[in-house]
Chains A and B, each alone.
Chain A
């Protein structure tokens, strides 16, 4: 008569559904689909199913017969979800507009006549670099990245947008200020070159990661340097894309000699270090042959 599973809400103890007539090779995804059929409010991306109340979320492709579930699963509502692409597009489009808003030196922010005051060459480079960085991110989101998960909780949209938009305004305010003090032309030149190298490095890693995973699959392989010399950083770290990202912002901060940029860079570094360490740990536990000697994000350090 097929498999059947009782699904209980981990928090309230209420029985959400009694799913029966499941095929012998039915998966977690099938159970989620049946729950969504019964309760339209719980679309599949919102559902987490576990073996115990406080256990880990089971993967969609796990077969019920391999789990030894004893006819029972626990349900958790992950809350309203939003697509990863949607969040990325919103959080990256904001800085693009916001920075340029400050660049034109509106009177309401900088006082009367601000737009007519002289503007240093580096201020123009900074606007170009900042805009390039976020335009690149938007294009990568649309054409390059392949996301493992399709959704995240909707509260992340507000949290992430506040972070990116807030810091864009914070940096833009000072760099475009009529009282901005430019560093030497030499400092600007070298830092600009370093910024472009890091942007290219970051892009190179994104391309490598995209090619690591064939379209439509959720393959996981150890990333290794390819023909592009920028990918040689893989000899030293697990997440060179983050390394290059940090490098880009340090360069941007030196180019503009603006402490606001360094503050932003440190916040990003802290978050990316946490992500990189998680990724590094997962690589090590997933692959027996994972190269030792790699650190997570900063060569030899962390």
Chain B
């Protein structure tokens, strides 16, 4: 495990811990405020969704971790680390502040602006890592089960990865422009005024 990898995991876990704590605090506040558990889901669902998504990150960590040196020492991994740490720190801090209804505008601005560079950076990094992982997955038959077997089904992780690559390319324009639309909606002068009026 490289020093960079350990630092990433430390940061990741500190943030996630803080995040989960904020969900817990929001839940307690809601209960104290309303006296019953009816609205807990509504109060915490957005954060919960975020942290469920973060669970997927864990899977990626594990999957990439298996493939060790060739991907971890690649520029792809550096790109992923940089893009994800910056994005996720800002994103989780943003949601934490939202729970407390005191989000500073600079945070909102960064969350809806940095993606312009970080998203393509992250996608490039992930594609590099997948490509580098391919020969290792193929030779080690990682996550693959073949025929014959009693259930007459086979699975080959190698081909799944190959299949994922074009999906990244196909869906990138849609997702990227969706984020621009979100940015326009959130950072437009009308909604900014609404936000400051709400304080």
Contact = CB atoms under 8 A, between A and B. Distances in A.
Interface stretch (A41-49, A213-221, A255-263): A255-263
A263 B155 CA distance: 13
Interface string B125-151: 000000000000000000000011111
A282 B153 CA distance: 39
A263 B149 CA distance: 16
Interface of B: 147-154
A102 B150 CA distance: 20
Nearest to A258: B152
The SS class assigned to the B binding surface is loop
A275 interface: no
A174 B154 contact: yes
Interface residues of A, number: 12
27 contacts: A174-B147, A174-B152, A174-B153, A174-B154, A177-B147, A177-B152, A179-B147, A179-B148, A180-B147, A180-B148, A180-B152, A181-B148, A181-B149, A181-B150, A256-B152, A257-B150, A257-B151, A257-B152, A258-B151, A258-B152, A258-B153, A259-B151, A259-B152, A259-B153, A260-B152, A260-B153, A263-B153
B197 to A, nearest CB: 27
A29 interface: no
Contacts of B150: 181, 257
Contacts of B151: 257-259
Contacts of B153: 174, 258-260, 263
A263 B152 CA distance: 12
Contacts of B149: 181
Contacts of A175: 152
